[in-house]
Amino acid sequence: MIRDIERILIARGAISDRVRALAEEITRDINEKEDEAELVLVAVMTGSIIFVADLMRNLPMKIRIQLMTASSYVGKTTTSSHDPVVGKLPDVTGKHVLLVDDILDSGKTLTRIQGELETLHPKSVDTCVLLRKKLPSAMAVPCTYVGFDIEDEFVVGYGLDYDDYYRNFPDICVINP
């Protein structure tokens, strides 16, 4: 598997620093909304699992975590399918919600899930992605918190995968599948 790695795009130290900075921004913003605010992290699985774990360890507030599934890549492909398949939505009525995903490329998954969550009447819905591709479709999607803007390359590691492999790599890497 190592031979498939073309290069490290974002090293683990830079990821760690940025996750801490995102947590500080989120904490400040949530505290401005409400004293003793409770936050529900809605994590889009499976790609965001490592990012969510690191992010929540840096949030000094009451947190509930809800997991949901969404998929737009199926099998051995580096191209997103047309419509994401979204799993069961969590109950977020009357809560401050932070929707967390690994990568924003087409924007279809984030837009669809956010829209569906808003029908459940939460107090607020903010979005957080680790990576946003510098594509017109991704840049057009409003996103409250962005870890890194990257070029349009297929990346793996830190939870991101290719055919369910490479999630365990600690750096974000460009691959040659």
Catalytic residue from among 105, 152, 161, 163: 105
Q: Mean pLDDT lowest for which of 72-81, 87-96, 109-118, 166-175? A: 72-81
CB 141, CB 107: distance < 8 Å: yes
- Domains of the chain: residue spans and CATH: 13-152 (3.40.50.2020)
**Chain segment 79-93, per-residue pLDDT in tens:** 555 566 666 778 899
Task: Tell whether pTM > 0.75.
Answer: yes
Assess whether pLDDT exceeds 70 at residue 160.
yes
Return d(Cα 66, Cα 86) in angstroms, integer: 14
Q: Respond yes or no: is residue 163 known to be catalytic.
A: no
**Chain segment 11-34, per-residue pLDDT in tens:** 999 999 999 999 999 999 998 887
DSSP 8-class letter at 92: -
Q: What percent of the chain has pLDDT over 90?
A: 68
